[in-house]
Amino acid sequence: MDIEQFRKAGYQAIDRICDYYYTLQDKSVVSSVKPGYLRDSLPVEAPEAGEDFQKIADDYQKFIIPGLTHWQHPSFFAFFPTGCTFEGMLADLYASSTMNPGFNWACSPACTELEAVMMDWAAKLLGLSPEFLNTSGIGGGSMQSTASDSALIAVVAARSLYQRRHPSVTQSSLVIYTTTQTHSLGLKAGLILGLSVRALEVTWEDKFSLRGETLRKALEGDEREGKKPFILLATVGTTSSGAIDNVSEIGAVTKDYPDLWVHVDAAWAGVALSCPEYRETLHLNAINEHAHSFCTNFHKWGLTNFDASTLWVRDRKYLTDALDVTPPFLRSAEGDAGTVIDYRNWHLALGRRFRSLKLWFVLRSFGAEGFRDYIRRTINLNNIFASLVSASSVLSLMTAPSLALSVFRLDPKSASLNSTKALSPETLNDLNRIYYARISARKDILLTQTVLNGAVCIRFAVGAARTEEVHIRKAYQLLSEEGKLALEEWTKAGQNGNV
Ligand SMILES: *Cc1c(COP(=O)(O)O)cnc(C)c1O
């Protein structure tokens, strides 16, 4: 493809992307393809002779679009939202047009310098302590691919710090602390690094929040057994129910255990810190005071295209002491002089994408005000959903709504069941399995399920940028109707003796 062919194909691509967005809400959210559909449609190997690009572009429409789940669809309420804005798309286009794997400052000064400035913008937007700013010269932030990478980096840095402080401790006595609600990134870090992971219990009564007392008891017990917990992966906004670990109480405990690194994973909820009214709920002061590292994903609820996980550390030396390997071919005058950041020493790989460009485009185009408006708007939409569920005769909220996430289940009040008996927990779970099977058979909406305290329930996560109140009301209507149908299905099965 030459430059003029690129110009033509590029204009066409933008036109087609615009058409996609004009027609998105008329599509179904979920694809209807069967496993293996693409292998059946594509040649078994790359073509010997190069093909005409128009044919390639048309095949994208023909084969790929039908196999997509439309995460930007206004009726997408599954998992968590994934940011996707035109600003982000354009930034990615520019970034890929010059393709700089900016591992050292000297690789492309703009890549490193924009990232350092954007991480400071983002830190200020979220209200993080000046200690985390790159301008502090001590702490600092960098953009990672995912929250899982960010947590892995924190664990590697924490382990390295611990081992330098306690050279005689063997790796087999080291323990990573998580809770039973921590994202699988905790277990995965343990698996990758060959370290034990202990999941601390959190309870329904505490809204699945890790409390200081639980942490203290675990630390005391492990200390007696000679185990060495060296990092806690705390969560602000868990995946399952949006639970918020009590970072204030955790911080009070770690005062007595200065060797315990506190990493705060706020992959989804962290961007809500941009709104001052949520800072207390999300324990911002305690994060600022106690966290060694803090991560949030702008690529979830932060309007920025994947990947854009932001990771801050209180002391950049924690990272560079653990991750700096400088063979001669990577040395540079600026790096040796210590006057610049070489971001390769702040993450696991060598090369890195030019991610900060999309954050720059997004934060400038929306402005802090526009960013906060979006967060508030989606929280309001979730509140509308939650109040509809609260008033429902068949659905119930399982926990108080957390920001833009509600967890609910089918829970018929006895009148609608023509019975006065309360349903047993097992029966309710059976009923909700039927209910979720019905919902997930639909193509026009997507939600994910979870289990809280043994109870099968369903998550409703708001945040797709095009979701409006009408989509929320439509979703509620549909979920209520499916609830009633699930009850009928269940009652019939009962009458046939199948339950
Ligand atoms: C989504 C999520 C993650 C994982 O995010 P990745 O960036 O895909 O690794 C981790 N923690 C929490 C709380 C999440 O919600």
Convert the pLDDT of each residue in 229-255 to its tens digit: 999 999 999 999 999 999 999 999 999
Q: Tell me what pLDDT residue 494 has.
A: 78
Convert the pLDDT of each residue in 332-376 to its tens digit: 888 777 789 999 999 999 999 999 999 999 999 999 999 999 999
State the closest ligand 1 atom to the C-alpha of 182, by its place in the atom list counted from 1: 13
Helix (H, G, I), strand (E, B) or coil at 378: helix
Q: Tell me what pLDDT residue 332 has.
A: 84
One fold for 3-68 and 364-495: no
Helix (H, G, I), strand (E, B) or coil at 82: coil
Domain ranges (residues) in the chain? 3-68, 100-354, 364-495
Is the shortest distance between the CB of 267 and ligand 1 below 6 Å?
Answer: yes
In angstroms, what is the span from residue 300 Cα to ligand 1's centroid? 9
Q: Tell me what pLDDT residue 67 has.
A: 97
Q: Tell me what pLDDT residue 335 has.
A: 78
Q: DSSP H helical segments within 231-355, as ranges?
A: 247-254, 284-290, 298-301, 316-323, 333-337
* CATH of span 3-68: 1.20.1340.10
Which mutation among 82, 155, 188, 268 tests ligand 1's pocket best, with the greatest number of atoms within 8 A of CB? 268
Q: Tell me what pLDDT residue 4 has.
A: 98
> In what side-by-side order are the strands of the sheet with 140-144?
140-144, 309-313, 293-297, 261-265, 228-235, 174-179, 196-200
Q: Give the closest residue to 287 by CA, choosing from 238, 259, 247, 260.
A: 247
Which mutation among 143, 179, 183 tests ligand 1's pocket best, with the greatest number of atoms within 8 A of CB? 183
Is the shortest distance between the CB of 459 and ligand 1 below 6 Å?
Answer: no
Q: Give the closest residue to 272 by CA, choosing from 348, 198, 394, 375.
A: 375
Q: Tell me what pLDDT residue 64 has.
A: 98
The position carrying tokens 């460009």 is 357
CB 489 within 8 A of CB 441: no
State the closest ligand 1 atom to the C-alpha of 183, by its place in the atom list counted from 1: 11
CB 150 within 8 A of CB 309: yes
Backbone φ and ψ for 124, nearest 5 degrees, come out as: -70, -40
Q: Tell me what pLDDT residue 499 has.
A: 52
In angstroms, what is the span from residue 306 Cα to ligand 1's centroid? 12
Q: Tell me what pLDDT residue 338 has.
A: 78
In angstroms, what is the span from residue 269 Cα to ligand 1's centroid? 10
Q: Tell me what pLDDT residue 423 has.
A: 85
Answer CATH for 364-495 from 3.90.1150.170, 3.40.50.620, 3.20.20.370, 3.50.50.60: 3.90.1150.170
In angstroms, what is the span from residue 276 Cα to ligand 1's centroid? 23
CB 278 within 8 A of CB 272: yes
* CATH of span 100-354: 3.40.640.10
Which mutation among 82, 263, 297 tests ligand 1's pocket best, with the greatest number of atoms within 8 A of CB? 297
With a cut of 50, list the residues of the chain below it in pLDDT: 415-416, 418, 420
Q: Tell me what pLDDT residue 496 has.
A: 65
Q: Tell me what pLDDT residue 186 has.
A: 97
